[in-house]
Homo-oligomer: A and B are copies of this chain.
Amino acid sequence: MDKTVSSLTEAVAGIGDGASVMIGGFGGSGAPIELIHALIDRFVATGHPTGLTVINNNAGNGHVGLAALIETGMVKKLICSFPRSADPVVFTELYLAGKIELELVPQGTLAERIRAGGAGIPAFYTPTGFGTLLAEGKKIEDFDGRSYVQERWLKADFALVKADLGDSHGNLTYNKAARNFNPLMCTAAATTIVQVSEIVHPGAIDPEHIITPGIFVQAVVQVANPQQEEVLNRAKAVYPEVAQ
């Protein structure tokens, strides 16, 4: 069993037009910048994939990573909790121009829907959102005298995930708060593609310290010194770099 792939290009080669793609991270923390940029590279080279539905907590920041993916026009719809950031201009302009769809989901509900997708729970009840616009049209049920909103699982065709250590079985650890949505998304996608800072041999990670067991992972690619969105944005980086 060897889930490692040798290049970012190879890692994202299977993502087709119209795919749903979970992208890990909370803002820049835990965002798989290199996997996203590899997907943009493919689009620049081939015109594909397009029409993506992206699931992420945010809507990108500046002109790199998720914001750059949106800026290319590859994203048809975004499912997120907080499409604001220090520099949200890319999403904001497309959204206000009616060129991208938005499904707004409370953050805890987003996390729980993804977990439910991974755990085979098609629906659950939450107090979150009851009596608000975000519960409109949703089934309400009372338990023990309190009203709850029924929410559905969320699954995706692909997950793009950033981890710290990974082995060839797909076992993963994360770095600090870069964990966030990443382990959940690993469980809820048909194909989970992970960039790790270092590929280690099976057994190198203490079985007690594995956060994502390999069963949830299909591909692991090494990106030894991953970029941070925050650092790129402070340097006013743009992806792809303007050619002329």
Contacts and interface: CB of A to CB of B under 8 A. Distances in A.
A82 interface: no
A208 B176 contact: yes
A122 interface: yes
A79 interface: no
Contacts of A143: 122-123, 152
A222 to B, nearest CB: 20
Contacts of A176: 207-208
A121 interface: yes
Interface string A111-150: 0100010011111111100000000000001011010100
Contacts of A20: none
A209 interface: yes
A121 B126 CA distance: 5
Nearest to A207: B176
How many copies altogether?
Answer: 2
Size range of the chain A interface in the assembly: 20 to 34
Contacts of A208: 173-174, 176, 209
A221 B82 CA distance: 42
A106 to B, nearest CB: 13
Interface in A188-226: 207-209
Contacts of A209: 208-209
A116 B122 contact: no
Contacts of A126: 120-121
A12 B195 CA distance: 47
Interface of A: 112, 116, 119-127, 141, 143-144, 146, 148, 152, 173-174, 176, 207-209
17 contacts: A112-B121, A120-B126, A120-B127, A121-B124, A121-B125, A121-B126, A122-B143, A122-B144, A122-B146, A123-B124, A123-B143, A123-B148, A124-B124, A173-B208, A176-B207, A208-B209, A209-B209
